[in-house]
Amino acid sequence: MRHPSVLPATLVLAAVPASLASCSRVSSEAAPPTGASAGAITTREAEILDFQFDGEVVADASTDVRDAVVQQLLYAFGGLRTSSDASGQIGNVVLSDVTESRDGDRRRVAYRASLPVAWPRGAAPPTSYTLVLPRDAGALAAFDERYDGPCGRSEHGRENFWHDFRPGAATCLLADADVVRPVAAVGTYAEAERRYPEYGLMWADYRLDVIALFTIIAANEPDDWGYTEAQRFLDDAAGALEGASVRENRATSSILRDATLTGRVMNGGRLRDVRVDALVVESIDEAGADFDERYDALSERADLVLFNGHARLGANTNALGRKGTVAPGKYQLVLLNACDTFALVDASMTDRRRAVNGAASDPRGTKFLDVISNARPGYASNLANVAGVVYGAAVGSDWPTSYGEIVGAMPAIHVAVVYGEEDNAFTPLRALPIVFEERTLVVPRRERP
């Protein structure tokens, strides 16, 4: 078992029954067939590549096409990780040119895919890359049973064999009938390091509302990382405010601790209200109606949603994307500080925003949404640190911090990645002209202390 400070994708399974800790398949609704180059991604510790390839998958006729493709592409997670220490944004793969043929209750789907891949910076990127994927998305249980062992050994239950799939292992002899091997042409994905969060939209109502979610890491005990890091975050957040006070709210069956921090901070020349609601939960995907009632009200006006804890192989983070209230035209910056969220987060958040704001004005579902995720495992000892970086940028937005600077301040081992910022319009004020006695003086932008 790894060091307890590590947040592996296993979610510290020794502390959680396997039947409760797995999310074996990622699903998402169809996204518009836009090429990946239409977006942009910010990161410091990886080079973002664009894998474009023609794929094919067999599935049951009743299975959603995108769902079948994503289930198949999950095995690219293991292949990329074990061969190249890379991570593909599988849950948000862009599909186009989808065609299908049917044979009774089975369908064969051909598609064109554009997959952003976080490649280790400093390692020479390939010009092409051969993916090895199961052919039949309707027979994955049989595939897992046949190849779990010779082609990598699942650490998280056989139903999650995709996580540890190692097609390059010397003992891995894959039958041609069981796999497809699409060859991806590898190009450079657009990067946008000098983009900024939409600070103007964040403070449009002259206040900052923050939700900070922390999950239990090992066990529901007072010294668990979930509790201690939530408290450390609250202490640090209060230190940035004037007149800070914390109110303890009633805990519920799903919300183990509920605390509200209030205070004020100077923004735009005036003291503005800041509210932080910190919730400690066992998990998001198993939270009950009591969590939904609390989170719905908070999320409708939240400017920051900071999730810190176990991804549960995507179950927690994707459940979070489906929860809460999405208000039209409401900008949110979402932090997914958990294991491999860059690869495993699905399209729920963007789909919901595209539906609320209209596909014509928000075709990618990112006009009012930016997401910071991890392309590698996170560490429990960094929960408060990483959340604090995002919070600090928001409360200190009079001296705007770019996304490149934000992810650069996060632990390099997490490989923090931002997506959704390609349509951001915020531009910091670089200089202030002052007219005095018919002469123009330029006052440089004040540096952050």
* Model confidence pLDDT, tens digit, residues 370-429: 999 999 999 999 999 999 999 999 999 999 999 999 999 999 999 999 999 989 999 887
Largest CA distance in the chain: 84
Last residue of a domain, one of 188, 221, 245: 188
How far from each other are the two terminal CA atoms of the chain, in whole angstroms? 42
222 and 285 belong to one structural domain: yes
161 and 247 belong to one structural domain: no
Last residue of a domain, one of 188, 217, 247: 188
Q: State the CATH number of the domain containing residue 234.
A: 3.40.50
Strand runs labelled E in 77-231: 87-88, 94-103, 106-120, 128-130, 133-134, 179-180, 183-188, 207-215
Residue 167, beta-bridge partner list = none
- Sheet strand arrangement including 270-281: 41-43, 416-419, 369-374, 332-337, 304-308, 207-215, 270-281, 255-267, 242-248
User: What tokens does 250 get?
Assistant: 């009633």
User: Does any domain span residue 245?
Assistant: yes
pLDDT at 114 over 90: yes
Rg (CA), the chain: 22
Q: Which of 68, 50, 52 is nearest to 60 (CA)?
A: 68
208 and 140 belong to one structural domain: no
180 and 215 belong to one structural domain: no
Q: DSSP string covering 390-411, please? A: HHHHHHTTTS---HHHHHHTS-
User: Does any domain span residue 442?
Assistant: no
338 vs 257: CA distance, rounded Å? 20
402 and 358 belong to one structural domain: yes
Name the pLDDT band for 448 (thresholds 50, 70, 90). very low
> Which residues have C-beta within 8 Å of that of residue 61, sequence separation ≥ 6?
102, 104, 105, 106, 107
375 and 281 belong to one structural domain: yes
- How many CB atoms neighbour CB 200 within 10 A? 15
233 and 177 belong to one structural domain: no
52 and 138 belong to one structural domain: yes
- How many CB atoms neighbour CB 236 within 10 A? 15
Last residue of a domain, one of 168, 188, 208: 188
- pTM comes to 0.85
C-alpha distances (whole Å) from 409 to each of 18, 213, 239, 404, 438 are 34, 20, 19, 9, 43
206 and 117 belong to one structural domain: no
Name the pLDDT band for 248 (thresholds 50, 70, 90). very high
- Residues 139-183 have pLDDT tens digits of 999 999 999 999 999 988 999 999 999 999 999 999 999 999 999
User: Does any domain span residue 163?
Assistant: yes
* Number of domains into which the chain is organized: 2
pLDDT at 360 over 90: yes
333 and 203 belong to one structural domain: yes
Q: How much is the average pLDDT of 114-129? A: 94
Give the pLDDT confidence score for residue 191 in this predicted structure: 65
User: Does any domain span residue 431?
Assistant: no
User: Does any domain span residue 5?
Assistant: no
Share of the chain above pLDDT 70, in %: 86
**What's the domain range around 128?**
45-188
Residue 267, beta-bridge partner list = 270
